Each structure stands twice: as structure tokens, then as C-alpha cells.
Amino acid sequence: MRCLLLAIFLLIPGCASAPPSQVDSKVRTADVQVLRKNGGRVAWSAANNLIAYDKKGADGYYDIYVMKPDGSNDRCITCNKKGLVPQKNNGNPAWHPSGKYIVFQAEKTKHPGSSREATPGFGRYSDLWLARKDGKRFYQLTKDPASKDQGVLHPHFSHNGKLLSWSEMYERPHLFKRNQQFGLWKLKVADFSFGPRGPYLSNIREYEPGGPGFYENHGLSKDNRKLLYTSNTKAPIFSAFRNDVFVLDLRSGKSVQLTSKKYNEHAQWSPNGAKILWMSSVGNRGGATDYWLMNPNGTKKVRLTDLSTPDNPIARGRRLIAADSAWSPDGSRIVAYVQTNLFKQAGVIVMIKLPPEIAREADVRTSH
């Protein structure tokens, strides 16, 4: 499993201990506050200013929740919905730009293997579903076989809501096969429409720009011409668990590698598309990772956080893993999932207030 393998990689002595070589400068965040002591992957709607997130419940399964940015009006939209949506792991939410719907991964009701493999961080045995934000209607978008070789990850709508992108596994993980430690995946982009029977996907396109390997989807640019993703296809032979961030030009098929040092993942376009936020282990020791910013062409890399510093009350001596995140509509804040234990898949949701100079560059109201 990807998260478990990453945990093993980060615990190997020396794997994340080298000093940074790609740092332009370092910016300390103005404020990092815990929003939820138990939480997971996040999405922030520009249309309704609500945050969707997943969280593991007392039954051991993840569900989708919605709350205001201050943490109030918290409600579960997939809990106790038997007959409407599968009642196992539901996670990795992403808003439709209208703010009326949420797309997410849902674990199949019946499948081989364990539900741990179907947690939102891995997505095995799962399909894509769409929910109305009030949790009263659900629609299944994909229906693949209940196979050990199948899974979906990180769906994202385009800015105009007419496209949906995601990652889909087609061959199970193999620890000792090159680039297959996380399984073999494809990037997918489909047309998204509403018909008489509800929403549906059509004209599905598949991409493996670096050849067979792991691909994690991070969504389309504002003009729908570029797809941001993470992959291990350029990892050195003896760095089996290395991932980097790439951007794919969908018209030319050309892919550009944006990172090249240590472990990188969880990239997000800023509201105006002028910046990319992502997670990296560069500059950290002992397996910790932090949030960074860069230009869309990979230049001007800036470290944004120092989560595992001893004076951070969230860390309490632990190695923190910066994971999934989402920008506020105006680019002034970031809501983020910070993992406190990779093996247990435990983590908190934090709100990061950005320095004014960073917020101005990311604000959707500013020009590119």
C-alpha cells in the first residue's frame, strides 16, 4: 500500500537527511492552528466557502463531512446512508465548482482483501461517486470490477465543471518490480455531464506520460490545458519509493518534471494558477515533510512551513507529514491534512494563514 510503503521509506536512516539543494528562500507561516484533532483529506469550495473533509469514525471507516472554515456547522453527509451509498470507506472529497456537489471515492460493499487497502489514502476496491452537498442524493460515476488490481484516487473537477480527472489503478502493487511499489496507475480525464438519469462520465482519456508506474492526480489548470500530478516514473533505480511532481500538457503530450530531490507529493494549483503548493521531504531529517511553494514551471521554490520544529505544539516530538491540502478561495489561507502517524493513518486538520506577500501572489483576483 502506498502510505505504508511511504512510511517504510521515510523511516530508513538517511533517506531524508540530506540538506536542501533547491531552496531559493524560506518563509515562515504567520499562523498554524488545529481545526480538527481527527481528520483527513480536504477540499475548499469557492462557491459556498465550505470545507469538505474525510474522517475515520468509531466504526473504523472514513466518511465525508462538511464544515465552515471556522469549524462550525460540522455535519456528515455519508453517515447512516445505507442503500444510498456504500457504507465502508468514503473519502478524498472534491467540490464541483457550483458548490452543489462533492465527488469522492467509495469503497465497494463487497470485494477481496481488506478494507485497510481501501482507505482514502490508497483507494483500492473503490469507485467514484457524486453526492449532493446536503447528502440526500448520491450517484455512482464509475463501476470497475471488484479486483485486487483496481482502485481510484484523488478525483478533481475542472474549474468550469465540465471535466473530471482522477487516477485509476490497473495492476496491484509489487514490492520488487520497478516503479510498481505503489501499483500501476493511469491518469484519466473525462467529460462530466448531467442527463435525464443524473450525472455521467463520457469520452474518457487515459495518460501514462512517463510509462508504467504510479500516478496521483492533482487536477487541471484553469484553462484545462495542463494536468498536475505526482509520479515515481523518473525515480532513480535505487530509490524505489521516490515520487516527484510533474505537469502534463494535454495537447502536446509533453510532461515537465517540477521537482527532483527527495520525496514530493500532494500538489495543488493556487486559486489564480500562479503558484503550486506541494509537500516535500527536502531539508528535513527523520522522515518529516513540509509544505512548499513554486511557480508553475518549477522555479522559485520556497519552503513554507517547519511543522516538526520542537516549538510546534502539534508535533510534540513527532515527525509530521504534510499531506493533502486546499487553498482558500482568496489565496490567503490553506486548510491542510497533517499526518501524525503514517502506520495508523492518524492526522489532524490545520488552518495555515499565509504571509501577506504569498497571499497576494496566489489571490484569484490578481493577474498571472
Which residues, 6 or more positions from 103, have their beta carbon under 8 angstroms from its beta carbon?
93, 94, 96, 128, 129, 130, 131, 141, 155, 157, 164
Task: With CA atoms as reference, report the closest residue to 54 among 67, 46, 42, 44.
Answer: 42
Non-local CB neighbours of 153 within 8 Å, separated by 6+ positions: 92, 105, 122, 123, 166, 167, 168, 169, 185, 216, 217
The residue type found at 47 is A
Q: What pLDDT is recorded for position 118? A: 96
118 SS3 class: helix
Q: What are the cell numbers at 148?
A: 485486487
Strand 302-303, strand 25-26: pairing:
parallel
Domain 2-17+45-292 top-level CATH class: mainly beta
Closest CA to 191 of 148, 151, 231, 220: 220
pTM of the model: 0.91
Residue 124 gets which letter from DSSP? B
DSSP state of 117: G
Task: List phi, psi (to 5°) of 188.
Answer: -130, 140
CB atoms within 10 A of CB 44: 21
Average pLDDT for runs of 10 along the chain of length 368: 43 34 52 92 98 96 98 97 98 98 98 95 97 97 96 98 98 90 96 95 98 97 97 82 94 97 96 96 90 96 89 81 96 95 86 86 63
Question: How do strand 90-95 and strand 101-107 relate by DSSP bridges?
Answer: antiparallel
Distance CA 167, CA 149 (A): 13
Q: Where are the alpha helices (DSSP H) in the chain?
A: 2-11, 356-362
d(CA 77, CA 308): 33
Backbone angles phi, psi at 4, to 5 degrees: -70, -40
What is d(CA 61, CA 289) in angstroms, rounded to the nearest whole number? 26
By CB atoms closer than 10 A (0-12, 13-18, 19+), residue 114 is exposed
Query: Hey, CA dihedral for 149, 150, 154, 155, is it positive or negative?
Result: positive
Domain boundaries, the chain: 2-17+45-292
Q: What is the number of other CB atoms lying within 10 angstroms of the CB of residue 101?
A: 21
Side chain identity at residue 109, one-letter code: T
Task: Report pLDDT for 27.
Answer: 54
> How much of the chain is helix, strand and coil, in % rounded to 5?
5, 40, 55
Distance of CA 127 to the CA centre of its chain: 16
Q: Which residue has the cell 438519469?
A: 197
CA dist 184 and 235 (Å) reads 15
